[in-house]
Amino acid sequence: MQPTENLNIEAFETLPTPEEVHARLPLTEAAARTVVEGRRALERILDRKDPRLFVVVGPCSIHDPVAGADYARRLKALADEVADTMVLVMRVYFEKPRTSTGWKGYINDPRMDDTFHIEEGLQKARAFLLEVNGLGLPAGTEALDPIAPQYLGDLIAWTAIGARTSESQTHREMSSGLSTPVGFKNGTDGSVETGINAILSAASPHSFLGLSNQGRSSVVRTRGNAYGHLVLRGGGDRPNYDTVSIAMAEQALAKAKLPGNIVVDCSHANSGKKPELQPLVLRDCLNQIACGNRSIVGLMLESFLVAGNQAIPADLTQLKYGCSVTDACIDWPTTERTLLEAQATLRPLLGARV
């Protein structure tokens, strides 16, 4: 009999189970406290019990844990300084969706040489999250692979579902079981209906195939996630953070009988993929808040130590320290200045948002 399955599979390589990886790199008390406090702060903002904004800020992707930790220490100091007006969450993205081909991120290819040592990537990603949370800084990430949250989810305070995957049933089902608030991005064409339908779906219970902590294929039965919210990132080569776009998103959320919670991603199409325009997008959103907007509850910035981005060289020793290898970012001085200016703007406004 001729074989009929796995015809294009070269090999199966067994990974350690989530339980085994957790045992090697256990959750610490300090990290657990950061995760719980971070999630509660975000939930209070989304429930309108806390008038502050939350800001997910950090590198487009993590590729160098040393530079990433350097950034995290600076961001923790800044988070403490602006805590009266903002909750800062470090953007810690390990998985990168690709339009066609390219580096798939730190989990898939930690050595950045197409060798795909995924076991190594999972453990290094978990070690990095432990370090960030150990500083007292909550972490946010994009959930791309539906198995990865079993390895890392206990160290995440906020989750994004990207524009390419908000329409995916797999990701909506997965989100219904995540322990974090989940931001669903509008579609790549700018349509908010994709994100709104995802919020509605994830709020419902689901049953689907998944992986248990013991590494067994399982039927996962979820309760539904009450903290889904909309992330506007622009699309169709145009931004959607302007007052008209925000008002239309508010109306769409109200029509779906959903809370009017909107996060504005200041990068991607909202800045025309020009990182230097991100602070202008943020200021525009603050101006809307100053004019009475109550729906904007969060912001996102792509930021690293050095401005811009770089191609991955064949000789990795030539990598520029603290510079993104995926989307271009604003540098640290710009990040610090932008968020301190935001603090000064927000201070007299928060009373009206209670």
pLDDT tens for the chain, 354 residues long, are 999 999 999 999 999 999 999 999 999 999 999 999 999 999 999 999 999 999 999 999 999 999 999 999 999 999 999 999 999 999 999 998 766 678 999 999 999 999 999 999 999 999 999 999 999 999 999 999 999 999 999 999 999 999 999 999 999 999 999 999 999 999 999 999 999 999 999 999 999 999 999 999 999 999 999 999 999 999 998 999 999 999 999 999 999 999 999 999 999 999 999 999 999 999 999 999 999 999 999 999 999 999 999 999 999 999 999 999 999 999 999 999 999 999 999 999 999 887
Please give the pLDDT value at position 99: 62
Question: Any idea which fold 18-45+52-346 has?
Answer: TIM Barrel (3.20.20)
Please give the pLDDT value at position 100: 62
Please give the pLDDT value at position 135: 98
Burial 210-222 (b: 16+ CB within 10 A, else e): bbeeebeeeebeb
Please give the pLDDT value at position 353: 87
